[in-house]
Homo-oligomer: A and B are copies of this chain.
Amino acid sequence: MLVSVVLQLQPDRPLRNPAGLGRAAHACFLGLVSRFDPALAQSLHRSEITPFALSILADPMSTRRGRLKNPPNSVWLRLTSLDERLSALLQKLEPKRIDTLRLLHAKCKVVSIISDSKTYTWARKSTFSEISNNGLVRARKGESYTGFRFLSLTSFSMAKSRLSMPLPWPRLVFQSLVRRWNAFSRITWRIDWPEFDRGVSIAEHRLQTCRLDLGRFSELGFVGECWYVIDRDVSIGLRHAIHALAEFAFFSGVGKKTTMGMGFVLPLTSGPLEAVFHGQG
């Protein structure tokens, strides 16, 4: 079971720079899990490929049914799980069972927990099978585009390099997704990467790097929107994987430090809109 829930928190003092609270939110999340299942918290702490992602939203953004109430200083903590045991735990969370959480120096009251996608865009549950089936439907329809809105700072670790890459290069994005999918699902993807390189490119983007202050250190990444195009010769198998992995990104996030608020993405399925170039000067 893949689960995404959103906790509305009311801190007892204003939180400055909520986007920079990734490390604190990570500690807060492990503490929360530990209250209900200490062994699971231990294994999450040790896991090489982590079965969760989190992000902090200073504003709940639009919902399917209008805007959520957003009292001053509210913070929204979005938690996703790719793992059965953690998903079961997240689904059972209730505000009164948690009461308060600590984020840095602030004591935060858990006002509500949203787990219903009808209430809020960022809450949802699904399964690997359901997402795989959705991908197959899109592949069979011949859909050639898939996109992401990168809502928090995103960046990728590179093989054998100390440097990170703040650019949504197709292979970096989809390798990151495959790695997480294959670590937690019984359905596994075997991607023909040379076919991927020949057959997948970028159709449209609008991107920008930013630096995020995380207290003791800072992180560089990009935000924006990027659409990928699949060439008409690409096999149905690869198309299937691409569409499924794109949808999976809703739960897994992409790139590095998704457990500290980075790589939070919204998969996009309606077609890209193109800007027209009228000259440089």
Chain A residues within CB distance 8 Å of chain B: 17-19, 55-61, 151-153, 158, 160-167, 169, 197-213, 220-223, 229, 231, 233, 264, 274-281
- Verify B275–A208 contact, CB threshold 8 A: yes
A164, A197, A202 interface centre (most CB from chain B within 10 Å): A202
Determine the distance from Cα of A153 to Cα of B152 in the docked complex, in whole angstroms: 27
- Verify B208–A209 contact, CB threshold 8 A: no
In the complex, the chain B residue whose C-beta lies closest to that of A278 is: B19
Residues of B within 8 A of A17 (CB): 278-279
Determine the distance from Cα of A209 to Cα of B203 in the docked complex, in whole angstroms: 8
In the complex with contacts A163-B229, A279-B58, A280-B57, A158-B209 CB distance below 8 A:
no
- Verify A213–B276 contact, CB threshold 8 A: yes
A78 to chain B, nearest CB (A): 11
Determine the distance from Cα of A249 to Cα of B163 in the docked complex, in whole angstroms: 24
Determine the distance from Cα of A226 to Cα of B17 in the docked complex, in whole angstroms: 27
- Verify B205–A281 contact, CB threshold 8 A: no
Residues of B within 8 A of A61 (CB): 280-281
In the complex, the chain B residue whose C-beta lies closest to that of A274 is: B211
A19 to chain B, nearest CB (A): 3
In the complex, the chain B residue whose C-beta lies closest to that of A18 is: B279
- Verify B207–A205 contact, CB threshold 8 A: yes
In the complex with contacts A162-B231, A165-B201, A209-B206 CB distance below 8 A:
yes
Determine the distance from Cα of A211 to Cα of B274 in the docked complex, in whole angstroms: 7
Residues of B within 8 A of A213 (CB): 276
21 A-B pairs with CB atoms under 8 Å apart are A18-B279, A19-B280, A152-B280, A158-B198, A161-B197, A161-B199, A162-B233, A163-B200, A163-B201, A166-B201, A166-B202, A167-B167, A169-B169, A203-B220, A205-B207, A206-B208, A209-B274, A210-B274, A211-B276, A220-B274, A223-B277
- Verify A208–B205 contact, CB threshold 8 A: yes
